[in-house]
Chains A and B, each alone.
Chain A
């Protein structure tokens, strides 16, 4: 039908080509990051800039991840501890974040208790205040509490997930009241109703939120940079920034570090992208 229209065919070709070019340009920096990370040392510093390695080599990853003996002393970039720190911090922040936000969001949507509306209004208003306002006094507080340079010090602020609570609440509003009331008439406790009725219905939202929380924690930079002093405690972004300042000329090594930092979350995003995208849109739909 319409495909026989030559103008439309031309338009289709043009539009698809444009999308293809746009996508290629967008993915180019990520692809280049990967190929350079496999180049022999120094190869990226040549003109014209090569896009593929002359030979594929693991030497940058080896140098970054394996401790070795140099000039009579052990040397390493402390990158492996940073990787483990990031995995640990992001996993715990995600688990605790869910544990705190999901019941709270459900309660604010479906349970009647005094002060609920006031709590809700307070949370919405707090969203306006940028986190940086709290950061400086928070550092002093954590210093008094002995939380500077600790994992707990990194994780604790991320647990104040106001956005997460409101996100869960929005989804929980969609749970039919009849289901909950029927269970109440059957004598089920509120906790049981939450566990066996609400939670299964909220499962997709919980997965979405888990991805959001994990990515946010994994990529977080400013607060870990402030609170972590010891290199052995650094998370990946802090470690990458620190190594980058000392090894600015080692492009291939830095690209290997960038690959290790970005690939896990890219893989997580790609495997759960349906949840992620729907969550993004759920958050933007306003009443």
Chain B
């Protein structure tokens, strides 16, 4: 017993020490930092640091760009989550069709974009989305659509980035959904078919309950992921045009590491955390209602 005791701590203590140093301590410090006026002056000398209570939070509420960032991020999540999950589910349903051959090959090929560097592939998409020379506008011109200024028009910038993100990540949930689809009870499916249930009816009452838990998990992870969008706008649009792609995390990065308002930026990080936590909670509640948990 004592030997297990000793080895147990020997095995866990090093990593727990690192987790405490780089995660627990800074997370607690973030709470403290968010109630200070930490700025470039405090960066030079800690003596310039003052306690300002909820000052950062109230200041944020009257910062138009913060609201803009919240709104943009909400748009990204609102359209991005259904778009990405829809693409994953469609691809998984297609791959699940009994007549499709060489499934492992397609699965790996469709997953490939997921393992690439966001920065590198965002750069590639920047050129694909180019107004004059981009392949996407060229393809659209073949069906008679006028060139779209994807990354230069504030109305097109969010859809453009979502197109890229969906391409990049849909393979991940597709893999999870393919695994979940293999658990759909085939006898039940056959019975529903014999009873004359429509294609949609079979999906709604046989497939959906079986993949529900996976769907819920994917939704929770996707919402959190889209709320933390950063590299994509950083590389593709630098938050523009007209601040239409400034996300919460982008705002936090600029506030913190461009202007060195680390107190303010910590408040942003905490607000983002609370929003993610709240949305996770709500989704779990909804999932429980459908008995997916």
- Are A and B physically bound partners? yes
* B210 interface hit (Cβ, 8 Å): no
Among residues of B, the one whose C-beta sits closest to the C-beta of A193 is: B7
- Of A114, A140, A215, the residue contacting B262 (CB under 8 A) is A140
Among residues of B, the one whose C-beta sits closest to the C-beta of A32 is: B135
Tell me if A100 and B5 are in contact (CB < 8 A): no
Tell me if A262 and B107 are in contact (CB < 8 A): no
* B8 interface hit (Cβ, 8 Å): yes
A124 and B252 alpha carbons, distance in the complex (Å)? 26
Tell me if A30 and B113 are in contact (CB < 8 A): yes
Among residues of A, the one whose C-beta sits closest to the C-beta of B101 is: A16
Tell me if B266 and A136 are in contact (CB < 8 A): yes
Given contacts A108-B12, A281-B179, contact A261 B120 (CB under 8 A): yes
Given contacts A113-B9, A136-B265, contact A29 B4 (CB under 8 A): no
Fill in one digit per residue for A142-156: 1 if any B CB lies within 8 Å of its CB, else 0: 000000000000001
Task: Write out the residue numbers on chain A whose beta carbons fall within 8 Å of the beta carbon of B23.
Answer: 126, 129, 131, 134, 157, 160, 162
Tell me if B127 and A44 are in contact (CB < 8 A): yes
Tell me if A107 and B118 are in contact (CB < 8 A): no
Tell me if A132 and B249 are in contact (CB < 8 A): yes
A226 and B138 alpha carbons, distance in the complex (Å)? 37
Tell me if B27 and A129 are in contact (CB < 8 A): yes
Task: Write out the residue numbers on chain B whose beta carbons fall within 8 Å of the beta carbon of A18.
Answer: 94
A262 and B114 alpha carbons, distance in the complex (Å)? 11
- Of A23, A139, A244, the residue contacting B235 (CB under 8 A) is A244
List A residues 66-123 near B (Cβ within 8 Å): 100-101, 103-104, 106-108, 111-114, 116, 119, 123
* A161 interface hit (Cβ, 8 Å): yes
List B residues 96-130 near A (Cβ within 8 Å): 97, 99-101, 106-113, 115-121, 123-128, 130
List B residues 237-280 near A (Cβ within 8 Å): 238, 249, 252-253, 256-257, 262, 265-266, 269-270, 272-273, 276-277, 280
Query: Which of B67-75, B186-194, B198-206, B223-231 makes up part of the contact surface?
Result: B223-231
A160 and B20 alpha carbons, distance in the complex (Å)? 8
A280 and B119 alpha carbons, distance in the complex (Å)? 23
Given contacts A44-B127, A129-B273, A255-B127, contact A119 B26 (CB under 8 A): no
Task: Write out the residue numbers on chain B whose beta carbons fall within 8 Å of the beta carbon of A265.
Answer: 115-117
A214 and B95 alpha carbons, distance in the complex (Å)? 29
A32 and B272 alpha carbons, distance in the complex (Å)? 37
B246 to chain A, nearest CB (A): 15
* B33 interface hit (Cβ, 8 Å): yes
- Of A47, A126, A190, the residue contacting B4 (CB under 8 A) is A190
A30 and B112 alpha carbons, distance in the complex (Å)? 9
* A8 interface hit (Cβ, 8 Å): yes
A248 and B123 alpha carbons, distance in the complex (Å)? 9
Fill in one digit per residue for A15-28: 1 if any B CB lies within 8 Å of its CB, else 0: 11011001100111
A44 and B171 alpha carbons, distance in the complex (Å)? 28
Given contacts A18-B94, A222-B231, contact A258 B124 (CB under 8 A): yes
Tell me if B117 and A237 are in contact (CB < 8 A): yes
Tell me if A116 and B213 are in contact (CB < 8 A): no
Task: Write out the residue numbers on chain A whose beta carbons fall within 8 Å of the beta carbon of B29.
Answer: 137, 140-141
Given contacts A119-B16, A136-B266, contact A107 B8 (CB under 8 A): yes
* A171 interface hit (Cβ, 8 Å): no
**What is the total number of residues of chain B having a CB less than 8 Å from a CB of chain A?**
92
Tell me if A104 and B117 are in contact (CB < 8 A): no
Tell me if A138 and B95 are in contact (CB < 8 A): no
* A185 interface hit (Cβ, 8 Å): no
* B47 interface hit (Cβ, 8 Å): no
* A182 interface hit (Cβ, 8 Å): no
List B residues 22-52 near A (Cβ within 8 Å): 22-27, 29-30, 32-33
- Of A26, A27, A134, the residue contacting B22 (CB under 8 A) is A134
Task: Write out the residue numbers on chain B whose beta carbons fall within 8 Å of the beta carbon of A273.
Answer: 108, 111
* A179 interface hit (Cβ, 8 Å): no
Tell me if A156 and B18 are in contact (CB < 8 A): yes
* A128 interface hit (Cβ, 8 Å): yes
Among residues of A, the one whose C-beta sits closest to the C-beta of B265 is: A136
Among residues of B, the one whose C-beta sits closest to the C-beta of A113 is: B8
Contact sample, A vs B, 29 pairs, CB 8 Å cutoff: A16-B99, A27-B112, A29-B113, A29-B167, A103-B12, A111-B4, A111-B7, A113-B8, A116-B8, A123-B19, A128-B277, A129-B27, A133-B30, A135-B269, A136-B256, A137-B25, A137-B32, A157-B22, A157-B23, A160-B19, A194-B11, A215-B115, A219-B116, A222-B231, A236-B120, A237-B117, A241-B119, A261-B119, A277-B175
**What 19 new A-B contacts, CB under 8 Å, besides A103-B11, A104-B11?**
A23-B109, A27-B109, A112-B8, A113-B5, A162-B19, A162-B23, A190-B4, A190-B6, A194-B7, A219-B115, A219-B117, A222-B249, A222-B253, A237-B119, A241-B123, A251-B127, A258-B123, A265-B116, A284-B217
Q: Which 3 A-B pairs have the closest CB atoms?
A: A113-B8, A137-B29, A12-B99
Please give the residue numbers on chain A whose beta carbons come within 8 Å of chain B beta carbons, in ascending order. 8, 11-12, 15-16, 18-19, 22-23, 26-30, 32-33, 36, 44-49, 51, 100-101, 103-104, 106-108, 111-114, 116, 119, 123, 126, 128-141, 156-157, 159-162, 165, 189-191, 194, 215, 218-219, 221-222, 226, 236-238, 240-241, 244-245, 248, 251, 254-255, 257-258, 261-262, 265-266, 269-270, 273, 276-277, 280-281, 284, 286
